[in-house]
């Protein structure tokens, strides 16, 4: 009995050591958000303040035919950045919006998944196909895709992490674009049945995302994973704490998209408290709400200060802001240069501490 207990303790210690080793060498820093229209920009590769670039992967582009994968675009991005001495972060975009500029954004799921029997909600005005994440056929094929992603990138030590967030930052779809123009769509969405007949409920969504995160952790075994959090429901249930805790418990990074200069002060008390708890167990990622000095984002320096307040590990910076801090560009601005240099110094000291 004593030998069994001792062996179990040794096993647990080894697992903890593996986990610590897996994440110990990953740096902290600012990342270039290679959004649509800025993916192939080479000027930013010389920027000394950013540690890498973030590339968005669309399942419908990579696996347009079942079981046949086209990695060329993402591999080209990875190779270009790593040759420049930078790291790369990846994002699987499961749910997007046809209102976005990227022509593939309205259809992130391959058409063959629907032909296989998975069901989706359709928003006509934006021409967006919205996956029902509790649909068992959709889920089966999505997990197979993640297995392929894990296999393809598992030996690349330059990959910082992969954002595997289910839904639209754990919401069922992109509220920010669709609900703004069509607030009645929520009701229509909630009545669309999946292939097994189930329609949306708050309980179903909560259990779907929790189990999706747990299953993803078993599939994505060789690359650190990230889950970015939102309220996480259709009709107001606040799943932010439970989804975040589920991600952390399954060894994933957590974070939030939408940081601005006033974030994580008195008005964000609960989320600040949760992130303060989670950062002791994992890494924190935040993405700017918009480019600096547009749509209430505040100044670039203000965003840096917010990142410091929340003890951020990775800050995803809009491409316009990185370009403004890159010497030699037509939009170079010393104000942005000073802000990102300040951020670089902060993240550099943070990485050394760890």
Summarised one tens digit per residue, pLDDT across range 302-326 is 999 999 999 999 999 999 999 999 9
Mean pLDDT, rounded, for 197-222: 97
- pLDDT for position 316: 98
Determine the angle formed by the axes of helices 334-353 and 300-309, rounding to 10 degrees.
20
pTM: 0.91
d(CA 80, CA 100): 26
Q: Model confidence over 152-175: pLDDT tens digits?
A: 999 899 999 999 999 999 999 999
- pLDDT for position 266: 79
Q: Where are the domains of the chain?
A: 25-349
- For the cut 50, the answer to whether the pLDDT of residue 22 exceeds it is no
Q: What angle do CA 16, 22, 26 make, to 5 degrees?
A: 130
First and final CA of the chain: distance in angstroms?
A: 38
Q: Model confidence over 74-96: pLDDT tens digits?
A: 999 999 999 999 999 999 999 99
d(CA 277, CA 281): 8
d(CA 311, CA 240): 19
Q: Model confidence over 191-202: pLDDT tens digits?
A: 999 999 999 999
Please state which architecture CATH assigns to domain 25-349. Answer: Alpha-Beta Barrel (3.20)
**If you ran DSSP here, which 8-state letter would residue 69 be given?**
-
Mean pLDDT for all residues in the chain: 92
Q: How confident is the model at residue 27 (pLDDT cuts 50, 70, 90)?
A: confident
d(CA 123, CA 115): 19
CB-CB contact of 190 with 130 (8 Å): no
- pLDDT for position 354: 58
**If you ran DSSP here, which 8-state letter would residue 161 be given?**
E
Mean pLDDT, rounded, for 238-259: 97
Which residue in the block uniquely carries the two structure tokens 């801090």? 325
**If you ran DSSP here, which 8-state letter would residue 303 be given?**
H
Which residue in the block uniquely carries the two structure tokens 């929520």? 186
- List the one residue out of 239, 232, 254 whose CA is nearest residue 312: 254
Reduced to 3 states (helix: H, G, I; strand: E, B; else coil), residue 166 is: coil
User: What does the block give as tokens for 123?
Assistant: 């928003």
User: What does the block give as tokens for 188?
Assistant: 């229509």
CB-CB contact of 240 with 232 (8 Å): yes
Q: How confident is the model at residue 295 (pLDDT cuts 50, 70, 90)?
A: confident
CB-CB contact of 223 with 162 (8 Å): yes
Mean pLDDT, rounded, for 277-296: 96
């Amino acid at each position: 009995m004593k030998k069994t207990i001792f062996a179990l303790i040794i096993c647990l210690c080894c697992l903890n050591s593996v986990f610590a080793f897996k994440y110990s060498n990953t740096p902290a820093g600012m990342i270039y958000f290679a959004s649509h229209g800025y993916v192939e920009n080479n000027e930013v590769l010389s920027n000394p303040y950013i540690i890498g670039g973030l590339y968005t992967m669309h399942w419908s582009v990579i696996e347009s035919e079942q079981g046949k994968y086209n990695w060329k675009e993402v591999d080209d991005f990875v190779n270009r950045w790593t040759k420049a001495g930078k790291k790369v972060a990846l994002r699987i975009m499961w749910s997007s919006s046809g209102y976005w500029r990227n022509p593939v954004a309205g259809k992130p799921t391959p058409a063959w998944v629907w032909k296989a029997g998975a069901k989706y909600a359709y928003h006509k005005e934006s021409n967006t196909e919205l996956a029902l994440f509790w649909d068992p056929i959709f889920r089966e094929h999505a997990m197979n895709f993640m297995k392929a992603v894990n296999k393809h990138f598992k030996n690349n030590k330059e990959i910082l992490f992969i954002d595997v967030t289910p839904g639209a930052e754990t919401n069922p779809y992109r509220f920010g674009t669709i609900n703004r123009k069509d607030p009645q769509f929520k009701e229509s969405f909630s009545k669309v049945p999946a292939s097994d007949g189930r329609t949306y409920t708050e309980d179903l969504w909560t259990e779907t995302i929790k189990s999706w995160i747990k299953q993803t952790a078993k599939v994505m075994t060789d690359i650190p994973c990230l889950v970015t959090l939102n309220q996480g429901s259709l009709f107001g249930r606040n799943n932010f704490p439970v989804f975040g805790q589920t991600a952390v418990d399954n060894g994933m990074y957590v974070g939030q998209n939408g940081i601005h200069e006033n974030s994580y002060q008195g008005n964000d008390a609960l989320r600040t408290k949760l992130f303060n708890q989670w950062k002791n167990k994992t890494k924190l990622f935040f993405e700017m709400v918009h480019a600096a000095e547009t749509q209430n984002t505040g100044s670039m320096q203000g965003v840096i200060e917010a990142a410091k307040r929340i003890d951020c590990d990775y800050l995803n910076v809009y491409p316009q802001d990185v370009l403004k801090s890159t010497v030699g560009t037509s939009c170079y601005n010393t104000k942005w240069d000073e802000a990102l240099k300040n951020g670089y110094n902060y993240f550099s000291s943070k990485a050394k501490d760890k």
